[in-house]
Amino acid sequence: MDDVETARKEDPIDFALWKGAKPGEISWDAPFGPGRPGWHIECSVMSTKLLGDTIDIHGGGQDLEFPHHQNEIAQSEAKTGKTFVHYWMHNGFVTVGEDDQKMSKSLGNFVTVHDIIKTVDPMVLRFFMATTQYRKPIRYTEANLAAAATDLEHLRTARANLEFRQQGAAKGTDPQVVTAVADLKQRFITAMDDDINVANGLAVLYELVKLMNGYANADTVHAEAVALLLTTFDDWMQIFGVQTATTDELLDADVEQMIYDRDAARAAKDFATSDRIRDELTERGIILEDTAQGTRWRRA
Ligand SMILES: [Zn+2]
């Protein structure tokens, strides 16, 4: 902020609503002189115009909390007389090195997701990032990533061992497992409802895994109890963005890719290939419909 601007302030903590035009800058006429909206007011105007006077959740990087978001509140509430935002969710940054330096393009200390997933399972990267509480810095180091990989491997092994017991499981359920899962579920929800307290949520997840491991080693298991443990585990892992259920169902992206390949084969008059792709899709429960606008698909 330059001295001229400071000198024109009534109070040192006043902030700019309107920036006076400087030569060569884009500007609009206004009763208080040509210029452009300040950065803070752009946000207030867009937010209240498109989302209404009050919004429920406003996110943003930690570094925007002050002054930007404070200023948004001041000017929006002065105008509307209403609460601007119910919940502010400020996320921490991905940091690197001993001194927790923010990973950023300008500092040149960054690695791209694209590069990381050349050598690291993308699910490990997700698990690593999702298991840090969102307001805290995510400390990116190879050691931390490796630790996340080991943790995820343990979780996957526990799941695989229990899933294996599905074969030969007795019919019916196990009241003890049902009660234990209901209790853990309640505690998991309580933990995650507390500003997404993933540390406590994970602690409950590990209790579930302990229960799973114990059950996987039981002499007799009941099919419904096994299924309950597996779906609960999968649901929670899904919350951490990690896919654990083994499925041979084609993902939408795979279907789209196969349709694209089939169209290319047809365009090249390679009907053997296009028919083969169509048959494979049919076999896997995908129904194709060729229309003038292109190929549409749905699941059978
Ligand atoms: Zn903003």
pLDDT tens digits, residue range 118-147? Answer: 889 889 999 999 999 999 999 999 999 999
What's residue 6's pLDDT? Answer: 67
- Ligand 1 centre from 40 Cα, in Å? 6
Alpha-helical regions (H) of 52-121: 70-80, 113-119
What's residue 248's pLDDT? Answer: 60
- Ligand 1 centre from 131 Cα, in Å? 27
Number of domains in the chain: 3
185 inside domain:
yes
Same domain, 78 and 108: no
Q: Which residues surround ligand 1, an ion (CB under 5 A)?
A: 43
Q: CB under 8 Å to 266, separation ≥6 — which residues?
A: 274
Of 210, 239, 268, the last residue of a domain is: 239
- Ligand 1 centre from 38 Cα, in Å? 11
What's residue 1's pLDDT? Answer: 46
Nearest Cα neighbor of 221 from 271, 166, 175 is 166
Same domain, 106 and 82: no
- Ligand 1 centre from 25 Cα, in Å? 22
26 inside domain:
yes
- Ligand 1 centre from 84 Cα, in Å? 12
Same domain, 150 and 223: yes
246 inside domain:
no
Same domain, 86 and 102: no
Same domain, 121 and 45: no
Of 191, 207, 239, the last residue of a domain is: 239
Same domain, 232 and 150: yes
- Ligand 1 centre from 248 Cα, in Å? 43
- Ligand 1 centre from 137 Cα, in Å? 21
What's residue 236's pLDDT? Answer: 96
Same domain, 69 and 168: no
- Ligand 1 centre from 94 Cα, in Å? 20
Same domain, 116 and 231: yes
245 inside domain:
no
- Ligand 1 centre from 91 Cα, in Å? 14
273 inside domain:
yes
The residue range of the domain holding 204 is: 96-239
218 inside domain:
yes
What's residue 113's pLDDT? Answer: 86
Burial of 247 (0-12, 13-18, 19+ CB in 10 A): exposed
pLDDT < 70 regions, the chain: 1-6, 246-250
Same domain, 228 and 291: no
282 inside domain:
yes
What's residue 41's pLDDT? Answer: 93
- Ligand 1 centre from 97 Cα, in Å? 29
- Ligand 1 centre from 129 Cα, in Å? 24
Biggest CA pair distance of the chain: 83
What's residue 234's pLDDT? Answer: 94
- Ligand 1 centre from 95 Cα, in Å? 22
CB 103 within 8 A of CB 139: no
pTM of the entire predicted model: 0.73
CB 111 within 8 A of CB 128: no
Same domain, 63 and 140: no
Tell me the Cα Rg of the chain: 27
- Ligand 1 centre from 42 Cα, in Å? 8
CATH number for the domain spanning 209: value is 1.10.730.10
Same domain, 149 and 281: no
Same domain, 154 and 231: yes
- Ligand 1 centre from 61 Cα, in Å? 10
247 inside domain:
no
- Ligand 1 centre from 63 Cα, in Å? 11
- Ligand 1 centre from 76 Cα, in Å? 12
- Ligand 1 centre from 1 Cα, in Å? 19
